[in-house]
A and B are shown apart, each in its own frame.
Chain A
Amino acid sequence: MPMDFSYKETWLHKINPSLKLLLMVLLFIHLLIIHNTNILINYMIGMLILYLFFTGHPWKRLLVISIPFLLIFLTSSTSMIFFGKGEITWAEWGLVHITEESFFRGLHLGFRGIIFAVLGIVFALTTRPVFLFYSLMQQLKLKPKYAYSFMAAIRLIPLMIEEMQTLHYALKVRGVHEEKGVKGFYNKLKSYSIPLLSQSIRRAYRIAVAMEAKRFSHPVNRTYFYRLGFSGFDVIFLCYLLVMIPLSYIIANHFPYFSITDVRYNK
């Protein structure tokens, strides 16, 4: 099935990939110290704006990709809502004990999960892996042997998927029956993973030998096919964050959605 994965290039595509990655990690750490749901909701809106308007992908695709967000919200929040600590009881059925505190803590976790998901997707949709690794080599001094190995490995994945398809047909044509239960699952897993892994290791080994012969592992005085640097788009992205983050604090202080400002227990 041929898949159309075309998109328009936006300013998010043109940000230096290393910088983008570093900023994402910093945002992650910053998000861990936000315990106020009001700030988090504003933060989420700020990120959703990037996702909805600036990734350059068509609406339909964005919609399909966002379906798991809902699942993330549920998985991140349910345990905490049902079983979290708290004093003001809302409902109780057997083991399930929903309190006001646990409910808001659960919501907080759900929103946090969504923000991470959105950040990740924005990065994935707007960054070409090849540029990311070239940039890591040039800006963050990642050793070429790691970067080129990674790029080669990414190229091998479609081959592996094709191989898996072939394997599937081969097993079918030879009349391999599917057993039920745990043992059947284990056998099925083995009959796919062993040939796939062994073939991939063999192929990787051969490619690596060839790459070493061509001095791909040579670290000094390299020239690069792509040269990546910094540009005005990096400044735009930085400015966006520098406006969005203080703004989400200010709005949360003046127009809070909920009265709870710290979701942690005993704080």
Chain B
Amino acid sequence: MEKGLKLTDILVTIIIALIFGVIYKLWGPLYGVVATLGLHLEQLIYGMWFIAAVVAYLVIRKPGVALLAEVAAAQGEFIFGGEWGVATLIFGLGQGLAAELIFAAFRYKRYDMLIASLAGVAAAFASIGIDYYYGYIGDLALWNLLILFGTRIAGAVLISGIFAHLLVQSLEKTGVTSLVRPATKEDYQALG
């Protein structure tokens, strides 16, 4: 047996990531249009940029998938000429690591909506950490900074937590997830 992820896991992860990479790219102008208002309403949709990690993990359920997916999605956005350029790669790495840490903290045994939301929030914190250096957000007026925190975290829970989980639930009904997931205890029991 090979160690780590198999080529199948990797290719499926990357395909999922690149689909979201295209969405990430399209999300940029949308975010930009909302952002010019200045009141951080755009932060509500920021959560979309954490979704690749969560969806890929929920589908494949293996260690390392979340990090790979988020990095690949960022790489995809970068190759397609995303507006934030190199910054995307660093943010992707940070967000992917954060989400991966949450899944690892539960020993890759939980796949529910709560864990998805937690991973989203962790990714949000990672992005805020990078933004501290990248966007001087520490120098915003306090009330404004709090709105930014609140809306970004709320957006993370809504999009990369709740929506991602619903999405994967519908995917399960199509039967594709059983192709790529490792066999569970129930599978072995069903074999008798």
Which residues of A does B touch, CB under 8 Å?
24-25, 27-28, 32, 65, 68, 71-72, 74-76, 78-80, 82-85, 96-97, 102, 105, 108-109, 112-113, 116-121, 123-125, 127, 129, 132, 145-146, 148-150, 152-154, 156-157, 160, 190, 193-194, 196-198, 200-205, 207-209, 211-212, 216-217, 263-265
* Nearest-neighbor residue (CB-CB) of A68 within chain B: B83
* Nearest-neighbor residue (CB-CB) of B177 within chain A: A201
Contact B133 A32 (CB under 8 A): yes
Contact A157 B22 (CB under 8 A): yes
Which residues of B does A touch, CB under 8 Å?
2, 5-8, 10-12, 14-19, 22, 28-29, 31-33, 35-40, 42, 59, 68, 72, 75, 78-90, 133-136, 138-141, 144, 148, 167, 170-171, 174, 176-177, 179-180
Contact A198 B19 (CB under 8 A): no
* Nearest-neighbor residue (CB-CB) of A29 within chain B: B90
Contact A25 B72 (CB under 8 A): no
Given A28-B87, A125-B81: A145 in contact with B139 (beta carbons within 8 A): no
Bound complex: CA A59 to CA B7 (Å): 41
Contact A75 B35 (CB under 8 A): yes
Bound complex: CA A23 to CA B71 (Å): 18
Contact B179 A205 (CB under 8 A): yes
Q: Which residue of the partner chain, among B35, B72, B141, contacts A97 with CB atoms under 8 Å?
A: B141
Contact B86 A27 (CB under 8 A): yes
Given A32-B134, A120-B84, A190-B170: A85 in contact with B140 (beta carbons within 8 A): yes
Additional A-B contact list (9), CB under 8 Å, known A74-B32, A96-B38: A68-B29, A109-B136, A120-B86, A123-B78, A150-B75, A153-B14, A194-B174, A208-B8, A217-B2
